[in-house]
Chains A and B, each alone.
Chain A
Amino acid sequence: MGVVWHLAKRAIFLVITFILAIYATVVIANGGGRVDQILKDQIYTDLKQQYARNPAFQRLPPQEQARQFNISYNSIIEAQGLNEPFFQKSFRYTFNALQLNLGRATQLHSSDLSMRVSDIIFERLPRSLVLFTVANVVAAVFGIWLGLWMARKALSAFDRGMTVLSVTTFVVPPWVYGILFILIFAYVFKVFPAGGLTSVPPLPPSPLILAFPPLIAAGLLGAGYVVYARLRSKYRLVGFGILGAGAALLLVWGLVLPADYFKDMEWHMILPAAAVAFSVFGSWSYTTRNLVLQVMDEDFVFAARAKGLKERDVLSRYVLRAASPPIVTSLALTLAAAWTGAIITETVFQYPGLGLLFYEAISLFDAPVVIGLTTVYALLLVVTVFLLDVTYSLLDPRIKALRR
């Protein structure tokens, strides 16, 4: 009863929060009705100019001119729904958004000229998703690994140096690194493209299978490392072999395979992903290090050590498990946030994902797109938060205790 009641309460609060947040976005995305006025003024000026250029219209008497002008102006205003007071409209917009009925964009369109907001969003979504998920996962894995290593060698020179590096890198947002990386790698060394999704004109696509070598190589490298470091020494050679295979595949992909659409796209993603990862890994390593050091002081870790377990097992089975809830929480929230892309990072790299779409929509006052993006994002976030709640209520003994 306790858990169900707790979850139900959370769910109700989250739904209310979600509705309020969507309503706030609707109001703000329309500038509290100000955008309507801007659009009206724009239609008015456009129509005036259009009529001023029309000689037949100029010959009409002034009253007739005014009447005709008003008729066409009002019909356009009505067709675009601008005559309705914003207060009323805001509820309709919110209701539509809550039903995931995202409507049509006013200015933007997808590359196949569809103006449906869902089409526009789903065209951009995979790009942001791939880029930011990969970058964040790489950063998180590397950061956690580094954090564990730092905790094991706590207070050594390595730990101190890496702590300072982590603390100082994660305060700087990815777009600043983006600018510096482009400056260094795209303009000084000319090894990566400065931005965009693909080269222009795009290279011809090849079979989809050629898109995967880097992933396979990364997998091989990871597996090779695990085999090399974790298994008994007689398998070390095998680990070396797998590592070598991964490196060779990466080399072949980078230097030998001809450039094609996917390779080109991956090539374009490396710098933005590196910028994001570089700005994010520090918070992972620093948090992990501190959490692990805190848990290491607990009695059960002491007991595990006293049992004679190997330090590595103590770390992975006892310490990391106890330290994992906050890590899982922030990983989940980071990944949910990754769905929106990053406005300025994508602008710096001219990477046509959701972040750039957000910026384009805002600067064109395309309220339906802004509302649609926020709705999708808020929904994802709410679902993530709720799933985390569910997970914790099932795992956390303190919440379990409510059941009794």
Chain B
Amino acid sequence: MAISAPIGLKAAFLEAARTKSGLAATAMLGFLILLAVLVPLLVPFDVVRQWSNPGQWSDNPKLVPPEWSEVFTGKRQPRTVIIPPAGQSGGFDHVRVSFEVQGQNYTIVVLKQSFDFQADAFPSEISLYMTTMFGSKSPLVRSWLTRPDGQEVQLFEDTPSLRASNVSQFRPADVITYSLTYPSFKDPSYQVYANVKQWLISNNVTTSGEWGELFPSPTGFYSNPPKAQVLLMAQLNHSMLDPRTAQVLKGKYSIKFEVDGFSSVDDANARAVVFGTVYGLIGTDDQRRDLLIALLWGAPVALAFGLAGALATVLIQTILGAISGWYGGAVDELVQRTADFYLIIPTLPILILIGILYRPSLILILFILVVFGVVGATTKVTRSIVLQVKEEQFIEAARSYGASRGRILFRYILPRVMPYTFALIALTVPAFIFLEASLSFLGLGDPNLPTWGQLLGNAYGAGPAIFYTFWWWVFFPAAGIIFTTVAFALLGYAFDKVLNPRLREQ
């Protein structure tokens, strides 16, 4: 590397920021730093801590693209509709009547709420949650869906106590709380499915024989079976049997639950989620997590990791290189041979091995990376710069008035080398970001913190065959990594231009 006229760190910074690429880099980095500062305020860390907790995300649709993607399909995609329990605003209307006939207590609870559905596509899933409280005898629980065309379809019918495993809690005074969940109306073996079939046959849409032919018994293989929510929300004609031709019936739907209880204590509450086919700005992953959160949090994590790693390694390497060049002799030989040694040992395989054996946290990964980077390319570059600087007159001057070797190294030589060091730091940050991403991609990253590499790894881990169909899951983390590293590369390049005047002017 050619040595230019001495240039201070601040001057180098200012001049680098004035070039076009420096300007672009400053803008990109400014955006990232702003993001890194704002993200913890916008999305509290508590939310991110829940990242690996699947229960936290159950109200999001599974594996759906971002909301704006409907621009490409040209169809209006449904958003997720949540009908909260009775007692909350917009929740189920709750009517409870208790009466006594011939010494026997009866209670009837009706929960009802409607939602407007105007999208051009069917919801991805429907989940119904119900909690029932009852006395010694189990009640009859039923549920219906009323369609805009006036049709009423029974969804399920159940008597809670018969399924003891679902009884979640015993209360005093013989009151039993029972939770009933009908998530994912897509499994044809559900009772819902049988009810839908009966309803279709009674409306002459299909016959039992045709149904059996189209969708053989649950033990056989299905040929693209329609999901229950497609049948439930399609226009009532023969085309609804094929999900490709089924037309959405738009309008007001209502969900009704009825509990017929045999005591005076019976009560019930319910909740319903009609899952959309799009979500948020970035979409969701296979565990229904909002990818936007991880994508945003990836920025501060990547910045901190990359900067800390690059700063530590480059500074250590610079100082070692300077010592090696300045003192020469045995010290020089030792540093150079260590560099040879580091060149030969395979760093990435060793890191992977450590990752598998110890499952390190992000901090530990950083530490290991720094240990494996104490000598390297920067040592050699710094050494060669120091060898040239060594011969200059200001060093001789310093020596002549009796400055110690250490003082000359730290007060005269290192400041001279620093601008190059900063260029190298900017160029090393991408390497650290990608090393972390590589480890996370292989599933060896910190499991508690979502990073961009981890998102890619999760997506890849979900299976190569389905990996790429969910483009939003792959594209945005990759774009985030590339954006950040390109910003640092441009900054390094801008520095390089300032420090290597031959590249600047002819």
Contacts and interface: CB of A to CB of B under 8 A. Distances in A.
Interface string A144-163: 00000000001100001001
Given A167-B493, A179-B456, A343-B349, A14 B340 contact: yes
B357 interface: yes
Interface stretch (B265-273, B319-327, B403-411, B498-506): B498-506
A302 to B, nearest CB: 13
A340 B486 CA distance: 27
Contact of A374 (B346, B460, B471, B475): B346
A294 interface: yes
B155 to A, nearest CB: 37
A297 B20 CA distance: 25
Interface string B95-129: 00000000000000000000000000000000000
Given A34-B357, A164-B490, A194-B464, A171 B341 contact: no
Given A14-B340, A385-B340, A171 B21 contact: no
A270 interface: no
A175 interface: yes
Interface residues of B, number: 48
Contacts of A160: 20
A17 interface: yes
Contacts of B356: 362-363, 365
A173 B456 CA distance: 14
A110 interface: no
A381 B493 contact: no
B451 to A, nearest CB: 14
A115 interface: no
Interface in B128-154: none
Nearest to A34: B357
A168 B506 CA distance: 23
B430 interface: yes
Interface in B335-359: 337, 340-341, 343-346, 348-350, 352-354, 356-357
B68 interface: no
B485 interface: yes
Interface in A206-250: none
Interface string B71-90: 00000000000000000000
Contacts of B337: 13, 16-17
Contacts of A179: 456, 460, 474, 478
B474 A183 contact: yes
Contacts of A47: none
A271 to B, nearest CB: 12
B478 A290 contact: no
B488 interface: yes
B65 to A, nearest CB: 14
Contacts of B449: none
Contact of B438 (A173, A180, A294, A385): A173
B362 interface: no
A16 B469 CA distance: 51
A196 to B, nearest CB: 9
Contacts of B354: 28
Contacts of B156: none
B344 A171 contact: no
Q: Give the size range of A's interface with the partner.
A: 35 or more
Interface in B455-506: 456, 460, 464, 468-469, 471, 474-475, 478, 481-482, 485-486, 488-490, 492-493, 500, 502-503, 506
A28 to B, nearest CB: 5
Interface in A268-307: 290, 293-294, 297
Interface stretch (A19-27, A80-88, A134-142): A19-27
Given A183-B475, A344-B442, A25 B346 contact: yes
A365 B500 CA distance: 47
Nearest to B488: A171
B489 A176 contact: no
A378 B344 contact: yes
Given A167-B493, A173-B438, A187 B468 contact: yes
Interface in A357-383: 358-359, 362-363, 365, 370, 373-374, 377-378, 381-382
A21 B344 contact: yes
Contact of B493 (A34, A163, A195, A378): A163
A343 to B, nearest CB: 6
A202 interface: no
A373 B346 CA distance: 10
A254 interface: no
A344 B2 CA distance: 36
B441 interface: yes
Nearest to A358: B349
A17 B344 contact: yes
B357 A173 contact: no
A359 B442 contact: yes
A350 interface: yes
Given A358-B349, A378-B344, A168 B490 contact: yes
Contact of A176 (B346, B481, B502): B481
B434 interface: yes
A276 to B, nearest CB: 15
A175 B441 contact: yes
Given A154-B506, A294-B2, A21 B352 contact: no
B365 to A, nearest CB: 15
A365 to B, nearest CB: 8
A290 B344 contact: no
Contacts of A28: 350, 353-354
A108 interface: no
Interface of B: 2, 20-21, 337, 340-341, 343-346, 348-350, 352-354, 356-357, 427, 430-431, 434, 437-438, 441-442, 456, 460, 464, 468-469, 471, 474-475, 478, 481-482, 485-486, 488-490, 492-493, 500, 502-503, 506
5 contacts: A20-B341, A172-B485, A294-B2, A344-B438, A359-B352
Given A14-B340, A182-B468, A187-B469, 4 more contacts: A171-B430, A171-B431, A173-B438, A183-B475
